[in-house]
Chain A
Amino acid sequence: MNFGAALPARVVTNDELSGQVGRTADWIRNVSGIEERRYVGEEGSVVDLAWEAATDCLARAGMEASELGLILVSSGTPARQFPGPASQVAKRLGLDETPAVDIPIASAGGLFAMAMADDMAEKRGPVLVVAAEVMSRIAMREPLEAGISVLFGDGAGACLVHPEEGKARIIGSRMATDGAFAEDLRLEFGAGLAMNGRSVILHASRKLPRVILQVLEEQGVTARDVEVYLMHQANQNLMDRVADAIGVERERFYSNIARYANTSSASMLIAAAEWGKETGFEAGQKVCFAAFGAGYHWGAMLAEGCEG
């Protein structure tokens, strides 16, 4: 695997948002741990961000788009019902026959796409996973709800799953879905985000530690053997709870939520791109990915560094 990311240049601080949502900057920081987020401009789109992250990822991998066997694009915030952004991302990459498929499941989409890419890369060739979200257009829809509007930002991440090469390789994963609580986190056409926060946190607090430990146990790895946990950046308190539940220091969970807020399916891949750039994937080093979101969909993945 190799990673890439793209973040809009425009930084939106809590001070800037406070007047719009009727809360102070301190209130926003205290309830969310978020200091600022990025928003695309009026002309910016999911496809723009996805293309930029894809290009960054391919450049870091030293690969041409023409070598790809498949593209998977995760977004819960596409500009229209269909076609989704995948075909446009492929076109922007200069491709006119490579299959490109949308995965519109929001927060867990990046993780699900990576797991599916791992299953398919052997047969299809290198798979480019892109997760891109313009959450600001959803979060800032009128009527604004302060408790939701301040939580989100825009961004994109990408991951190249190559059957033979890369900085890390996937060694195990689990995906799970339970539609019984689908109404508790949803985005209806033209509406604002509907979220039953108590249900989301209750389920995420129990399902994430469980699935992480299942994946680690299947690979004979303990929670403390893992160098870093790259989790969907939904909420700092949730990441802290998951760390506590699996028995590792909270610092092992990489966090950039203070800078970018919750960028839904893009967040985990942005975190991976940043961590990979800052620290690198040393040979044998274990890295665990995890995500939970609307659906409910959730899962975890264990990878191992391949660099010397």
Chain B
Amino acid sequence: MDKRAKITEIIETVSKKKAPGPDESLFDSGLLDSFALPDMVSELEAAFGVKIPDSDLNPRKFDTIERIESYLESLQ
């Protein structure tokens, strides 16, 4: 499974809803509320074997599938 597909799967698992397009806001669409966001971040860490430092815990980094993908690439 490629990175984007895995991110999409995590978002759909956490939100229990169908993920929007890669450049659509996960927040504005109501897909991720304040409490689903930490769940998604933890799932991303586990799935991609990365540790996201507190300094990177800016919600804007996780607002769209594209941004998440880009951020994860910057870590690896």
Contacts and interface: CB of A to CB of B under 8 A. Distances in A.
Given A206-B54, A237-B35, A241-B35, A198 B41 contact: no
Nearest to B55: A180
Contacts of B55: 178, 180
Interface string A134-153: 00000000000000000000
A201 B41 CA distance: 12
* Secondary structure of the B contact surface, majority rule: helix
Given A206-B38, A241-B35, A198 B59 contact: yes
Interface residues of A, number: 16
Contacts of A197: 34
B11 interface: no
A197 to B, nearest CB: 5
A241 B35 CA distance: 9
A198 B35 CA distance: 8
Contact of A203 (B27, B35, B54): B54
A105 to B, nearest CB: 19
Contacts of A237: 35
A207 interface: yes
A177 interface: no
B62 to A, nearest CB: 9
B37 interface: yes
Contact of A201 (B27, B37, B54): B37
A199 interface: yes
B57 interface: yes
B54 A198 contact: no
A246 B54 CA distance: 18
A82 B27 CA distance: 40
Contacts of B35: 201, 205, 237, 241
Contacts of A20: none
B14 to A, nearest CB: 13
A206 B34 contact: no
Contacts of B29: none
Interface in A166-192: 178, 180-181
Interface string B17-48: 00000000001000000110110010000000
B54 A178 contact: yes
B67 to A, nearest CB: 14
B74 interface: no
Contacts of B34: 197-198, 200-202
Interface in A203-222: 203, 205-207
Given A178-B54, A206-B54, A207-B54, A199 B59 contact: yes
Contacts of A24: none
B76 interface: no
A200 B57 CA distance: 10
A240 to B, nearest CB: 9
B37 to A, nearest CB: 5
Interface in A224-238: 237
23 contacts: A178-B54, A178-B55, A180-B55, A181-B57, A196-B59, A197-B34, A198-B37, A198-B59, A199-B57, A199-B58, A201-B35, A201-B38, A202-B37, A202-B41, A202-B57, A202-B59, A203-B57, A205-B38, A206-B38, A206-B54, A206-B57, A237-B35, A241-B38
> Nearest 3 pairs between A and B by C-beta?
A205-B38, A201-B34, A198-B59
Given A207-B54, A241-B38, 15 more contacts: A180-B55, A198-B34, A198-B37, A198-B59, A200-B34, A201-B34, A201-B38, A202-B41, A202-B59, A203-B57, A205-B35, A206-B38, A206-B41, A237-B35, A241-B35
